[in-house]
Amino acid sequence: MNRREAISAVGVLLGGTIIGAEFFLTGCKNSDKKTGAIAFSKEDAAYLDEIAETILPTTASSPGAKAAEVGSFMTVMVTDCYDEEDQQIFLAGMTSLDKSCKQKYSSSFMQTAPEQRHALLVELDKEQVAHQKNKKGDERSHYFRMMKELTLLGYFTSEIGATKALRYMESPGHYDGDLPYKKGDKAWAT
């Protein structure tokens, strides 16, 4: 992001309409804290893939987050970019999510049917919205907020997300500032 984009992002952030605005502007929060050494397993990545797929599923028009390997993207971001406190919230969230699933559907998230996964995450999304709304100054984000942000970021900047769900032109060649648009036309990836 260059300076002009930064100016616009401040504006969007101010409107409270951006997902992961902190990533855009300053990266992870409370950055002076150290990063703990954490390690995700293949199973973790597979589990996160399913969470991501539930947030952004495969549809008629494009493959979903799992195809874009968003699960392993999340593990990279949490390992390298999150500070220790956020890492712990994220890890605890992974456990807590599965626990909720077991309580509600008597089966782990990996074994639960897509409809039940969807219903569970809809509830968690409501929870994170309420948390974000009520949280005070330095209080950390809800873990599901983190998962959702990373899913959107990971998917729409992946090759599948950018070229199949969105439109991507590496080198547009010219500029047209007034192009007709009709509902259903895809947004530009960058």
Binders of another protein in range 66-125 (CB under 8 A): 76-77, 80-83, 118, 121-122, 125
Amino acid at 89: I
Letters for 22-51 (x = contact with another protein by CB under 8 A, - = none) are: -xxxxxx--x--xx----------------
CA distances from 187 to 136, 157, 166, 177, 181 (A): 34, 13, 5, 14, 10
We find the least distance from the C-beta atom of residue 125 to another protein, in angstroms, to be 4
We find the least distance from the C-beta atom of residue 72 to another protein, in angstroms, to be 10
Among 103, 133, 137, 177, binds another protein (CB under 8 A): 177
| 137 near another protein, rule: CB under 8 A | no
Report the alpha-carbon distance of residue 184 to residue 182 in Å, rounded: 6
Nearest to 68 by CA among 84, 55, 87: 55
Binding window for another protein (CB under 8 A); candidates: 42-50, 104-112, 133-141, 176-184: 176-184
Please compute Rg for the chain using Cα positions: 18
Which one, 136 or 177, has the nearer CB to another protein?
177
We find the least distance from the C-beta atom of residue 53 to another protein, in angstroms, to be 10
Which one, 30 or 107, has the nearer CB to another protein?
30
CB 18 within 8 A of CB 10: no
Site size for another protein, by CB under 8 A? 82
- Given the structure tokens 């439109």, which residue do they identify? 167
We find the least distance from the C-beta atom of residue 56 to another protein, in angstroms, to be 5
The CA-based dihedral angle spanning residues 37, 20, 149, 132, taken in that order and rounded to the nearest 10 degrees: 100
Q: How far is CA 117 from the centre of its chain?
A: 17
We find the least distance from the C-beta atom of residue 142 to another protein, in angstroms, to be 13
